[in-house]
Amino acid sequence: DVKVTQSSRYLVKRTGEKVFLECVQDMDHENMFWYRQDPGLGLRLIYFSYDVKMKEKGDIPEGYSVSREKKERFSLILESASTNQTSMYLCASSPGTSRVREQFFGPGTRLTVL
């Protein structure tokens, strides 16, 4: 089975802290994605990556950065956490780059910024 794991299920941080959210997939997928999910707003794409060291901005990249040094790992970084970044963060991966495939999601990290 495809497995996508995220480093934490729950995380509490303080305003101004640098926050790292890690995501690892074990199926050799080329594509990886970071979303945030908020009530009434659905899933919004923050960043995605088609390959190692490649990254593309999604719909709401402001306040975030990403790193993909290895194919299986995609990290989301909050440079200076703010309270409006309190949210559920979901990582996903999918195979191939030529056309859209189903995405496999991790369990999510619920981040609270105080």
Binding site residues, other proteins, CB under 8 A:
4, 31, 33, 35, 40-43, 45, 48, 50, 58, 90, 92, 94, 96-97, 99-108, 110
Shortest gap between Cβ of 13 and other proteins (angstroms)?
A: 19
Among residues 26 and 79, whose Cβ is nearest to other proteins? 26
Q: Tokens at residue 27, please?
A: 């199926």
* Most distant CA atoms of the chain, gap in Å: 41
Among residues 2 and 77, whose Cβ is nearest to other proteins? 2
Shortest gap between Cβ of 76 and other proteins (angstroms)?
A: 15
The CA distance from 43 to 65, in Å, is 18
The CA distance from 94 to 73, in Å, is 13
Q: Is 47 in contact with 31 (CB distance < 8 Å)? A: no
